[in-house]
Amino acid sequence: MSAASRAPLRSNRSNRTAVRVRSRAALALGAAAAALLVSACSSGGTSGGGGQTGFITGSDGIATAKEGERADAPELSGVTVDGGQADVADYKGKVVVLNVWGSWCPPCRAEAKNFEKVYQDVKDQGVQFVGINTRDTSTGPARAFEKDYGVTYPSLYDPSGKLLLRFEKGTLNPQAVPSTLVIDREGKVAARTLQALSEEKLRKMLAPYLADGSADSAKPGK
């Protein structure tokens, strides 16, 4: 076989190799997102501190990290469920309540009105609520969810869970749907829970950060 006739064969093999590499990368990303949400739509579950995690989980299922030991929140921005744009970094200086939800998730439906009620009560105290909608294959069901439950704060649309994968492992990262995180005024993750929240528990989780963004005086499990 001549060199000229071998060249197209080498080119075809290279193309097939590139396609396989891209396919493996896509599958790996999907598997990572699925693993992150393996306990998706559960009504409870907690992850404790210890080791190098730097946080403590109370008996109420709320995990907290002391000021000075909190991880930076990752870059979280993009298109919202209603077609707008949002960037969590724009809210630095405020306390941010970050709620991971899906329209398909019964515990998310159970807690939605609680979040909106608390948001209306605290939004004038330097607090911003932001949702991350995940695993909805289109924005239609997510928009219907927001309308049905009167949700007025923005939610980033993250169907494949890419935004959730930006949180550093071993920190207070979201690991289920629903998950709720509190980001302090310095842009650091201060608290997390992996369960649906009643209005009372949401207020309790948020209260230590309203005055100055510090939870050093908070007593987990009290």
Decide: 46 and 162 in contact? Cβ < 8 Å: no
What's residue 21's pLDDT? 45
pTM above 0.85, yes or no: no
Predicted confidence pLDDT, tens digits, the chain (222 residues): 555 555 554 555 555 544 454 545 444 444 444 444 544 574 433 333 333 457 899 999 999 999 999 999 999 999 999 999 999 999 999 999 999 999 999 999 999 999 999 999 999 999 999 999 999 999 999 999 999 999 999 999 999 999 999 999 889 999 999 999 999 999 999 999 999 999 999 999 999 999 764 444 444 443
pLDDT at res. 22? 52
The answer to whether 112 touches 145, Cβ cutoff 8 Å, is yes
Q: Say which amino acid occupies 201.
A: K
pLDDT in the model for residue 4:
52
The single residue listed with the structure tokens 């579950």 is 45
Task: Give the per-residue pLDDT at 19.
Answer: 45
